[in-house]
């Protein structure tokens, strides 16, 4: 298949990029493997927060509505599947495969997102997106200003320890993941965050933290700091330069979401240190404008 613009990843960032190109009457292909980062929230019948006009709506419903509106444009083509084996051709165009099908594209927009790796605490992963979260702005309010557990995965937990008192009464479970300095302990104490050094046995119930010494501390919800990695190797296959963020690597981009490889653009969680639906949608617009203009200027 030969196409002007191919977008790999059809969630918020990719859908947003596609909408701009569709409205410029350009031929655009969206390839999507259907593994949105926040799909765990849908599995828990939960809600997405903080996206203007959609606050409290299911993440899947937001994506489905965006896709429905996008598919009204006749120049948009959709393909379910996983893009792989991406490469830059000698004539400057791009090739990749989706299963048996080869795609030949003039411009590429990578909107492939990231995946989360949680600390190996028994019971934590099953509650991800249900009562375990990473972003206080997205899910802090639903803690009802009550007891919040912070499950440390690294020294990044210190940030949660300082921030989360705005959303409730936090206990920071160090769980051997890091040792705060005296200065850091003072800072936590000034914010009213309790520090619990006893290692965790497992998570029970909604957000009950069972400690190795037999105590159980019941929380309204838990926050942790996942390590992120790019969901797809396509950026690496093309040779895009990367940047190291506090949570993990992401694709390095310029002001128009342009990567280090000419005519390849990247947007959303895959191309920023930390993301949200709003930021993914915003990046998607800019990536589309960058890709579109690159065909003229």
| Options 20, 54, 112, 175; binder of ligand FAD; rule CB under 6 A | 112
Instruction: Determine, following the binding rule CB under 6 A, whether residue 196 of this chain makes contact with ligand FAD.
Output: no
Instruction: Determine, following the binding rule CB under 6 A, whether residue 275 of this chain makes contact with ligand FAD.
Output: yes
Q: Could you say which DSSP state residue 256 is in? A: T
Return the bridge partners of 249, or none.
Answer: 244
| Options 18, 22, 28, 33; binder of ligand FAD; rule CB under 6 A | 33
Q: Which is nearer to ligand FAD, 188 or 279 (CB)?
A: 279
Residues 137-176 that bind ligand FAD (CB under 6 A): 138
Shortest distance (Å) from residue 182 CB to ligand FAD: 33
Q: Looking at 117-125, 128-136, 179-187, 198-206, which segment touches ligand FAD (CB under 6 A)?
A: 128-136
Instruction: Determine, following the binding rule CB under 6 A, whether residue 229 of this chain makes contact with ligand FAD.
Output: no
Distance (Å, whole) CA 130 – CA 136:
14
The CA-CA-CA angle for residues 82, 27, 37, to 5°, reads 35
Distance (Å, whole) CA 287 – CA 40:
27
Q: Which is nearer to ligand FAD, 80 or 244 (CB)?
A: 80
CB nearest ligand FAD: which residue? Answer: 268
Of 200, 196, 50, 221, nearest to 127 (Cα)?
221
Shortest distance (Å) from residue 148 CB to ligand FAD: 15
| Options 94, 133, 167, 250; binder of ligand FAD; rule CB under 6 A | 133
Question: Can you spell out the DSSP letters for 200-214?
Answer: EEEEETTTEEEETTS
Distance (Å, whole) CA 98 – CA 268:
21
| Options 17, 20, 28, 38; binder of ligand FAD; rule CB under 6 A | 38
H or E segment and range at residue 161: helix 157-163
Q: Which is nearer to ligand FAD, 8 or 174 (CB)?
A: 8
Instruction: Determine, following the binding rule CB under 6 A, whether residue 37 of this chain makes contact with ligand FAD.
Output: yes
Instruction: Determine, following the binding rule CB under 6 A, whether residue 11 of this chain makes contact with ligand FAD.
Output: yes
Distance (Å, whole) CA 39 – CA 274:
17
Long-range contacts of 68-76 (CB under 8 A, 24+ apart): 69/19, 70/15, 70/18, 70/19, 70/22, 70/30, 73/19, 73/22, 73/23, 75/21, 75/22, 75/25, 75/26, 75/27, 75/28, 76/18, 76/22, 76/28, 76/30
| Options 254, 278, 293, 295; binder of ligand FAD; rule CB under 6 A | 278
Shortest distance (Å) from residue 233 CB to ligand FAD: 8
Interacting residue ranges for ligand FAD, rule: CB under 6 A: 8-14, 31-38, 40-41, 48-51, 82-83, 111-113, 116, 128-129, 133, 138, 231-232, 234, 268-270, 275-278, 280
């Amino acid at each position: 298949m030969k196409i002007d613009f191919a977008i790999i990843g059809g969630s918020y960032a990719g859908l947003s990029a596609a909408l701009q190109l569709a409205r410029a009457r350009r031929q655009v292909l969206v390839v999507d493997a259907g593994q949105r980062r926040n799909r765990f929230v849908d599995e828990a019948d939960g809600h997405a927060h903080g996206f203007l006009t959609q606050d409290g709506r299911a993440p899947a419903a937001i994506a489905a509505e965006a896709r429905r509106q996008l598919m009204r444009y006749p120049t948009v083509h959709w393909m379910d599947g996983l893009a792989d084996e991406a490469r830059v051709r000698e004539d400057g165009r791009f090739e990749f495969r989706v299963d048996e099908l080869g795609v030949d594209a003039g411009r590429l927009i990578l909107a492939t997102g990231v995946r989360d790796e949680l600390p190996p605490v028994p019971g934590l992963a099953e509650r991800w997106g249900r009562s375990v979260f990473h972003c206080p702005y997205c899910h802090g309010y639903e803690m009802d200003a009550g007891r919040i557990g912070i499950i440390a995965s690294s020294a990044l937990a210190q940030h949660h320890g300082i921030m989360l008192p705005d959303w409730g009464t936090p206990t920071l479970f160090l769980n051997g993941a890091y040792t705060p300095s005296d200065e850091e302990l003072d800072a936590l104490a000034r914010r009213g965050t309790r520090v619990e050094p006893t290692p965790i046995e497992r998570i029970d119930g909604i957000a009950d933290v069972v400690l190795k010494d037999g105590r159980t501390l019941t929380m309204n919800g838990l926050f942790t700091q996942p390590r992120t990695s790019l969901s797809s190797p396509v950026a690496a296959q093309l040779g895009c330069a990367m940047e190291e963020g506090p949570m993990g690597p992401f694709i390095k981009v310029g002001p128009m979401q342009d990567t280090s490889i000419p005519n390849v653009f990247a947007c959303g969680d895959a191309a920023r240190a930390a993301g949200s639906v709003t930021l993914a949608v915003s990046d998607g617009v800019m990536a589309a404008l960058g890709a579109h203009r690159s065909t003229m200027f």
